[in-house]
Amino acid sequence: MIHKLLGSIAAATLAMATVPAIAQDEPEESRTTYSVEFLRFAPGKAETWTEMNDKYWAPAAEAAGLPVPTVHWMMDGEWDLMVIREIPRGLATFDSHDAEERDRWSAEFLKLVGGEEAAKALREENGQLVEASQRFFSHTHP
């Protein structure tokens, strides 16, 4: 009986060991990478954030040729809102201090707001609207 059990375990182990080797020969399908950010607003500040997003953040992404983030209002839990942004080149986007996507977005944002001083003021205001935030990165499995 013990020999049958050990034989079964050995056979199963061998089968599992060969599966990754077979899978490695297959070309990997591309994945889509996302930034998922949760926000909790300071009391009474959610509407102001929404107005700023609609007027500046989302239009800058669109003008830069980037995917416009999707906003989800949370119905329960500790967060008010979830923002999902597709990251076009995946985590490779963060391999450089000079990411082309960020540069394009920044250029369009500066055009929309009228320059660096206005951009700085909006960033400071945004910082006062958000009480807490947390960001995660995810990707799809093809």
What is the per-residue pLDDT across 81-127, written as a single tens digit (0 to 9) for each?
999 999 988 888 888 777 889 999 999 999 999 999 999 999 999 99
Q: HSE (CB half, 13 Å, CA atoms) of 41?
A: 16
- What is the third-level CATH fold of 33-139? Alpha-Beta Plaits (3.30.70)
Could you identify the residue written with the tokens 């500040």?
Answer: 45
Q: Name the token pair of 65.
A: 């040729």
What is the per-residue pLDDT for 142? 76
Which of 7-11, 14-18, 24-28, 59-63 is most confident? 59-63
Residue 41 has pLDDT above 90, yes or no: yes
Could you identify the residue written with the tokens 């990997």?
Answer: 28
CA pair distance 74, 96, nearest whole angstrom: 33
pLDDT confidence bin for 17, thresholds 50/70/90: low
What is the per-residue pLDDT for 130? 96
Q: What average pLDDT does the chain have?
A: 86
Pairing of strands 81-87, 130-139: unpaired
Candidates 32, 24, 132; CA nearest to 78 is 132
